[in-house]
């Protein structure tokens, strides 16, 4: 998983570099400070989901399968809230501000970077959901704590990437 995270970090870095490089270089169209609203609530959701997944893993290590299932489910809920927030933000940007991936350099780099992240969140949620399904059926036990921890590393990575994207897009880029 560490190796996979390294590879994914390299991919995200390239998108971040492109985003930073093109900051301020759009020739036309909406600029970041005109249209971006800082997604504080949804960021808190995603970052707290790191906390909840941590508690989930710890519970499973102590053999508390029910607590694990509940913390795990909460993680999924928080992650889904984050995705809903992204969807809401994009709806606003596309239909009310007229910013699409084709509009200008900002649009291209913004949707690509945030979209790549959202894609990784989605994949993560699917994986978490399948574990949830197993947990509900009672198949997840203490001896699976190691595997679940590996998956939680992926989730922490996705959150860490969001911290970077947040800083680059909503703080620096504006």
Partner 1 sequence: MSAGPIVLRETGTVRAPLVETLHQWVTTVDHKRLGILYIVYALIFLILGGIEATIMRIQLIRPLNDFVSPQVFNRMFTMHGTTMIFFVAMPLVFGFGNYLVPLMIGARDMAFPRLNAFSFWMTAFGGLLLYFSFIGGDGLYGAGNAPDVGWFAYAPLTSQTFSPGHSTDFWTLALLVSGFGSIGTAINLATTIVCMRCPGMTLGKMPLLAWMNLVMSGLVILAVSPLSAAQIMLMVDRYLGGHFFDTQAGGSAVLWMHFFWVFGHPEVYVLVIPAFAFASEIIPVFSRKAIFGYPVMVAATVGIGFISMSVWAHHMFAVGMTSNSNTFFVLSTMAIAVPTGIKIFNWLGTMWGGKILFKVPMLFCIAFLFQFLIAGLTGIMQGAAPFDWQLTASYFVVAHFHYVIVGGILFTIFAAFYYWFPKASGRMYSESLGRLHFWLFVIGFHLTFDFMHVPGVLGMPRRIYTYEPGRGWDIWNVIITIGAFFQAAGILVFLYNLLWSYFHGEIAGSDPWDAWTLEWTTTSPPPGYNFATVPEVQSRRPLWDLKHPEDPDWKYE
Under rule CB under 8 A, residue 8 binds partner 1: yes
In angstroms, the CA 66 to CA 59 distance is 8
Residues in 15-34 at the binding interface with partner 1, rule: CB under 8 A: 15, 18, 21-22, 25-27
For the chain, the DSSP string reads -HHHHHHHHHHHHHHHHHHHHTTT--SSS--HHHH----HHHHHHHHHHHHHHHHHHHHHHTT-HHHHHHHHHHHHHHHHHHHHHHHHHHHIIIIIS---TTT-HHHHHHHHHHHHHHHHHHHHHHHHHHHHHHHHTT---GGGHHHHHHHHHHHHHHHHHHHHHIIIIIII--
Under rule CB under 8 A, residue 161 binds partner 1: no
In angstroms, the CA 158 to CA 135 distance is 22
Under rule CB under 8 A, residue 122 binds partner 1: no
Q: At its nearest, how many Å lie between partner 1 and the CB of residue 14?
A: 4
Here's the x/- map for partner 1, 78-117, by CB under 8 A: it reads as ----------------------xxx-xx--xx--x---x-
Interface with partner 1 by CB under 8 A: which range of 1-9, 36-44, 76-84, 149-157?
1-9
Q: Which is nearer to partner 1, 2 or 137 (CB)?
A: 2
Under rule CB under 8 A, residue 50 binds partner 1: no
Q: At its nearest, how many Å lie between partner 1 and the CB of residue 67?
A: 31
Q: Which is nearer to partner 1, 17 or 126 (CB)?
A: 17
Binding site for partner 1 (CB under 8 A): 3-4, 6-8, 10-15, 18, 21-22, 25-27, 100-102, 104-105, 108-109, 112, 116
């Amino acid at each position: 998983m560490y190796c996979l995270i390294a590879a994914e970090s390299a991919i995200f870095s390239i998108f971040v570099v492109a985003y930073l490089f093109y900051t301020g270089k759009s020739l036309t169209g909406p600029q970041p400070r005109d249209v971006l609203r800082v997604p504080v609530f949804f960021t808190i959701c995603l970052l707290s989901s790191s906390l909840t997944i941590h508690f989930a893993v710890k519970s499973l290590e102590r053999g508390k399968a029910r607590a694990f299932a509940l913390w795990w489910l909460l993680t999924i809920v928080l992650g889904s809230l984050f995705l809903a927030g992204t969807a809401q933000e994009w709806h606003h940007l596309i239909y009310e501000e007229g910013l699409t991936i084709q509009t200008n350099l900002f649009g291209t780099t913004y949707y690509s970077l945030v979209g790549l992240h959202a894609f990784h969140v989605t994949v993560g949620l699917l994986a978490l959901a399948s574990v949830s399904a197993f947990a509900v059926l009672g198949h997840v036990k203490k001896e699976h704590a190691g595997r679940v921890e590996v998956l939680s590393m992926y989730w922490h990575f996705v959150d860490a990437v969001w911290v970077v994207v947040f800083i680059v897009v909503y703080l620096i880029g504006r």
